[in-house]
């Protein structure tokens, strides 16, 4: 995952009024937590932040008073009506440090005709280096029929990434659709009458 570089400004005034002024000036308030240090209050350029937050688990390279620092976006709160990002929580990361993140599960391929893939986990929790977070994991289907199961241990992961799920946890399964079930009944009936 690529890092976005943003110039941060330290905040000295706090509260709703100060936050409103920052947003009016095109800056998003944020707090940096981590590694036994006191939380630091900053503002970031709102437009760039909105672009970065389109990607889950974004890693930012912040420039704070001329010094570079890597942080991971932990959470962001938006105004429910305007969808403007009101505040961001960031966590300091150190190269080589591992973090827990949630990533989406993407389905590649398809199951057999008359069936569908039932995804038990739309996202999975991973343990990975903060600078090497995959955007998603894939489950590959190649026309498998009803009853096929994909367990956590079956998911292929990039090097250095581990799944934070029990190996035998069901992630996805292939199930018959109503149309597929009707087809099976019709085939069984046809076989039955042919045998008579």
Q: Residue 1: pLDDT band by 50, 70, 90 thresholds?
A: very low
pLDDT at 191 over 80: no
Q: Which two tokens stand for residue 44?
A: 């970031």
Q: Which helix (H) or strand (E) holds 76?
A: strand 67-78
State the CATH number of the domain containing residue 104. 2.170.120.20
Q: Which pLDDT score, from 0 to 100, does residue 42 have?
A: 85
Which residue from 181, 169, 173, 168 is spatially nearest to 118, judged by alpha carbons?
173
Range of the domain at 40: 4-94
**Which of 73, 94, 115 marks a domain boundary?**
94
Which pair of structure tokens corresponds to residue 104?
Answer: 């989406």
Specify the higher pLDDT residue, 23 or 101.
101
Strands of the sheet containing 162-163, edge to edge, are: 137-142, 98-110, 123-129, 162-163
- For residues 64 and 112, what is the distance between their CA atoms, to the nearest angstrom? 54
Same domain, 88 and 34: yes
pLDDT at 17: 66
- For 89-101, what is each residue's pLDDT tens digit? 888 887 777 888 8
Which CATH number does the domain housing residue 88 bear? 2.40.240.10
Q: Residue 174 above 80 pLDDT?
A: yes
Same domain, 58 and 144: no
Same domain, 190 and 168: yes
Has residue 70 got a pLDDT over 80? yes
Number of separate domains in the chain: 2
Residue 170 has a pLDDT of: 92
In angstroms, the CA 168 to CA 17 distance is 51
Query: Could you give the 3-state DSSP secondary structure of residue 2?
Result: coil
Do 188 and 151 lie in a common domain?
yes
Pairing of strands 123-129, 162-163: antiparallel
Residue 81 has pLDDT above 50, yes or no: yes
Q: Tell me how far the alpha carbon of residue 38 is from its chain's centroid.
A: 28
| Distance separating alpha carbons of residues 133 and 56, to the nearest angstrom | 9
Contact 111, 148 (CB under 8 A): yes
Q: Nearest CA to 8 among 25, 30, 36, 23?
A: 30
Q: What is the pLDDT of residues 156-172, one digit of tens each?
A: 888 888 888 888 999 99
List the strands of the sheet with 170-176, edge to edge.
115-119, 170-176, 149-151
Alpha-carbon radius of gyration of the chain: 24
């Amino acid at each position: 995952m690529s890092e976005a570089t943003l110039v941060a400004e330290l905040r000295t005034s706090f509260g709703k009024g100060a936050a409103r002024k920052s947003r009016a000036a095109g800056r998003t308030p944020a707090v940096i937590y981590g590694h036994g240090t006191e939380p630091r209050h900053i503002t970031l350029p709102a437009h760039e932040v909105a672009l970065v937050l389109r990607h889950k688990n974004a890693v930012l390279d912040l420039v704070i008073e001329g010094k570079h620092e890597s942080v991971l976006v932990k959470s962001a709160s938006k105004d429910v009506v305007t969808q403007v990002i009101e505040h961001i929580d960031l966590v300091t990361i150190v190269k080589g440090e591992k973090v827990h993140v949630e990533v989406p599960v993407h389905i590649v391929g398809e199951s057999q005709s008359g069936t569908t893939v039932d995804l038990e986990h739309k996202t999975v929790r991973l343990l990975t280096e903060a600078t090497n977070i995959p955007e998603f994991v894939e489950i590959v289907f190649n026309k498998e029929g009803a009853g096929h199961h994909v367990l956590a241990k079956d998911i292929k992961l990039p090097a250095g990434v581990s799944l934070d799920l029990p190996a035998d946890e069901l992630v996805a399964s292939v199930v018959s659709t109503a149309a597929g079930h009707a087809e099976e009944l019709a085939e069984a009936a046809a076989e039955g009458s042919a045998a008579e």
